[in-house]
């Protein structure tokens, strides 16, 4: 009997110790989180700190989801209990759990180390004080072009001192440990090309819930990575969900969309994206091993360069933050035309949302930063020859830079001598075996032409008459839905 009592006491003491340890860790994490916020002087959307279980309970009580459940049961003959269990699985998959320490300590230091290793990061603003006149309790959605999976890290890093961004992340990141990391950073996962109405009703309710509660979001309207370097047509799904909360007169005047332009001197996935473009489809499953082998070779090659002290960064990773676009002003302009967006049928509403998204994407295109490699590639692509003299190339780069200035484009370090700009680009192009110095000029190597076109396409829409000639000689195969994106031009204001 004494042994039983001793064992029970031991178990009780163990349980108390575990509880006390858990409470101490929680308290320490809360205090550390508060210290981090105070030290960094950042603004955190309060609703992000709401526990995941409470968010899920709020969504389960949403009338829109209940109606979607009834419709699903009627269409599929599934039981109501099974359908609600499906909804819970969707919510568990979508809803994140924001952690201050993960975002502002782990996320900051990892992003700073990774970006600092690969790039020199630049951030500019379209106007000196872009958020002047925007209320402090505003609802802000950042729309940005999508060039690399590093975009998530890059934009979060440059904005970390001002705000934390919740991204809509595709299924590619639903693997350990990326899924845990992204959810702890406040990002939510979406299933692209998944057409089930019940799922989209759940996703719409979540997006509108966080939008209504002023959670700052980051959305890539192109819906995926560009394969040829040019802007893809805009997709309006998530933006349409978010704009739906503007029917609330309290939210409407506080809602803004901010365009963000991103560009790189080197996109790490560029060759993979070009390979997908050549096959005119996504990489098939049997090529995953080859893709993993490419990643392994990339890591080993760069590790070897790092260990032998021959490491060179990949040039610039640049971001331009545009001027906020007022959703209230847009809706007011529609109303002056006799269009009440939220009273209109869906078939009439979606084209208006599409036009708004296209206009914002055009603004994004107008502020895409011009870094040395895209400028040099655009100059190379403008010649109808594989050999270009250095003098002709520098003259063409200088002329293009003048055109970009006329269009008010963001040319990084435009005051720098054009020879110095080219030398920075040449180091990257030579290292990647895109061009080779021959005599008084440069020879475009056989495997270099697709990469030249890829980087040139990121700024071709800004180059006016030069761009027309480059499009006529475009070497990359284009999908129909990608070819439409090449007709965009700069936007005033």
Average pLDDT over residues 318-333: 95
pLDDT at residue 57 in the model: 95
366/488 Cα distance (integer angstroms): 9
214/250 Cα distance (integer angstroms): 12
Domain residue ranges of the chain, discontinuous segments joined by +: 93-268+314-366, 372-487
% of the chain beyond a pLDDT of 70 = 83
Give pLDDT tens digits for 97-134: 888 878 887 888 888 898 998 999 999 998 888 777 78
Average pLDDT over residues 190-209: 93
Q: Is the per-residue pLDDT at 17 higher than 80?
A: no
Average pLDDT over residues 481-487: 44
Least confident of 233-237, 244-248, 274-278: 274-278
81/386 Cα distance (integer angstroms): 66
Say which CATH topology domain 93-268+314-366 has.
Glycerol-3-phosphate (1)-acyltransferase (3.40.1130)
Average pLDDT over residues 430-448: 93
| 371 contacts 265 by C-beta, under 8 angstroms | yes
- Residue 16: which region, alpha, beta or left (left: phi > 0; alpha: psi -120 to 50)? alpha
216/141 Cα distance (integer angstroms): 6
Average pLDDT over residues 6-33: 63
Q: Is the per-residue pLDDT at 59 higher than 90?
A: yes
- Can you state the angle between helices 390-406 and 372-381, rounded to 10 degrees? 110
> pTM for the full model?
0.85
Average pLDDT over residues 135-142: 90
pLDDT at residue 288 in the model: 53
Give pLDDT tens digits for 371-426: 999 999 999 999 988 999 999 999 999 999 988 888 777 887 766 789 999 999 99
109/307 Cα distance (integer angstroms): 22
pLDDT at residue 209 in the model: 96
Say which CATH topology domain 372-487 has.
Arc Repressor Mutant, subunit A (1.10.10)
Furthest-apart CA atoms within the chain: distance in Å: 97
DSSP strands (E only) in 54-200: 120-125, 139-144, 166-169, 188-189
pLDDT band, residue 286 (cuts 50/70/90) = very low
Distances (CA, A) of 66 to 104, 189, 305, 346: 37, 22, 57, 21
Average pLDDT over residues 322-327: 95
Q: Among the ranges 100-109, 392-401, 464-473, 483-492, which has the highest mean pLDDT value?
A: 392-401
Rounded to the nearest integer, the mean pLDDT of the chain is 84
Q: Is the per-residue pLDDT at 190 higher than 60?
A: yes
pLDDT at residue 16 in the model: 67
| 161 contacts 42 by C-beta, under 8 angstroms | yes
Q: Is the per-residue pLDDT at 77 higher than 90?
A: no
| 474 contacts 453 by C-beta, under 8 angstroms | yes
**Closest C-alpha among 6, 339, 372, 71 to residue 201:** 71
**Four-residue CA torsion sign, 471, 473, 475, 477:** positive
Tokens for 351, please give them: 């084209």
Give pLDDT tens digits for 333-381: 999 999 999 998 988 999 999 999 999 999 999 999 999 999 999 999 9
| 260 contacts 320 by C-beta, under 8 angstroms | yes
pLDDT at residue 75 in the model: 92
Q: Determine how β-strand 325-326 pairs with β-strand 217-219.
A: unpaired
pLDDT at residue 486 in the model: 45
% of the chain beyond a pLDDT of 90 = 54
Higher local confidence (pLDDT), 471 or 200: 200
Cβ-based burial of 377 (10 A; exposed 0-12, middle 13-18, buried ≥19): buried
pLDDT at residue 380 in the model: 94
pLDDT band, residue 62 (cuts 50/70/90) = very high
Residues forming beta bridges with residue 443, ordered by sequence position: 387, 436
Secondary structure (3-state) at 313? coil
pLDDT at residue 20 in the model: 64
Give the contacts of 325 (CB within 8 A, at least 6 positions apart).
Answer: 256, 257, 258, 259, 360, 363
Q: Is the per-residue pLDDT at 74 higher than 70?
A: yes
191/477 Cα distance (integer angstroms): 27
pLDDT band, residue 246 (cuts 50/70/90) = very high
Give pLDDT tens digits for 147-178: 999 999 999 999 886 778 999 888 777 777 77
291/272 Cα distance (integer angstroms): 8
pLDDT at residue 487 in the model: 45
């Amino acid at each position: 009997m004494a042994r039983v009592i001793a064992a029970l006491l031991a178990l009780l003491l163990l349980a108390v110790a575990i509880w006390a340890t858990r409470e101490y860790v929680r308290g320490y994490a809360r205090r550390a989180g508060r210290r981090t916020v105070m030290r960094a002087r950042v603004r955190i959307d309060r609703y992000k700190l709401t526990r995941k279980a409470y968010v899920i309970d709020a969504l389960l009580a949403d009338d829109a989801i209940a109606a979607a459940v009834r419709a699903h049961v009627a269409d599929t003959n599934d039981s109501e209990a099974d359908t609600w269990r499906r909804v819970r699985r969707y919510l568990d998959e979508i809803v994140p759990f924001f952690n201050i320490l993960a975002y502002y300590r782990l996320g900051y230091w990892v992003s700073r180390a990774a970006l600092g290793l690969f790039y020199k990061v630049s951030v500019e603003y379209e106007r000196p004080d872009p958020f002047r006149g925007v209320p402090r309790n505003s609802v802000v959605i950042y729309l940005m072009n999508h060039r690399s999976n590093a975009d998530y890290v890059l934009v979060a890093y440059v904005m970390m001192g001002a705000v934390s961004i919740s991204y809509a992340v595709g299924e590619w990141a639903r693997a350990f440990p990326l899924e845990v990391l992204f959810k702890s950073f406040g990002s939510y996962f979406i299933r692209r090309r998944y057409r089930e109405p019940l799922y989209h009703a759940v996703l719409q309710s979540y997006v509108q819930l966080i939008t209504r509660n002023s959670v700052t979001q980051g959305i890539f309207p192109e819906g995926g990575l560009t394969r040829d370097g040019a802007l893809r047509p805009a997709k309006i799904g998530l933006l349409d969900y978010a704009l739906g909360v503007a029917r609330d007169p309290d939210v409407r005047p506080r809602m803004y969309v901010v365009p963000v332009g991103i560009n790189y001197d080197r996109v790490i996935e560029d060759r993979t994206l070009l390979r997908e473009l050549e096959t005119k489809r996504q990489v098939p499953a049997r090529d995953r091993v080859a893709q993993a082998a490419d990643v392994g070779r990339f890591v080993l090659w760069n590790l070897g360069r790092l260990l032998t002290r021959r490491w060179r960064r990949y040039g610039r990773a640049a971001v331009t933050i545009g001027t906020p676009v007022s959703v209230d002003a847009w809706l007011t302009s529609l109303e002056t035309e006799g269009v009440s967006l939220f009273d209109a049928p869906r078939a009439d509403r979606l084209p208006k949302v599409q036009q708004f998204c296209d206009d914002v994407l055009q603004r994004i295109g107008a502020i895409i930063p011009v870094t040395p490699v895209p400028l040099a590639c655009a100059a190379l692509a403008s010649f109808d020859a594989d050999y270009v003299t250095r003098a002709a190339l520098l003259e063409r780069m200088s002329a293009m830079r003048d055109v970009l200035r006329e269009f008010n484009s963001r040319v990084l370090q435009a005051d720098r001598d054009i020879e110095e700009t080219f030398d920075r680009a040449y180091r990257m192009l030579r290292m990647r075996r895109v061009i080779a110095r021959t005599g008084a000029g440069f020879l475009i190597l056989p495997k270099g032409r697709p990469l030249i076109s890829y980087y040139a396409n990121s700024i071709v829409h800004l180059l006016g008459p030069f761009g027309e000639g480059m499009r006529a000689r475009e070497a990359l195969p284009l999908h129909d839905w990608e070819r439409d994106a090449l007709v965009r031009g700069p936007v005033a204001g």
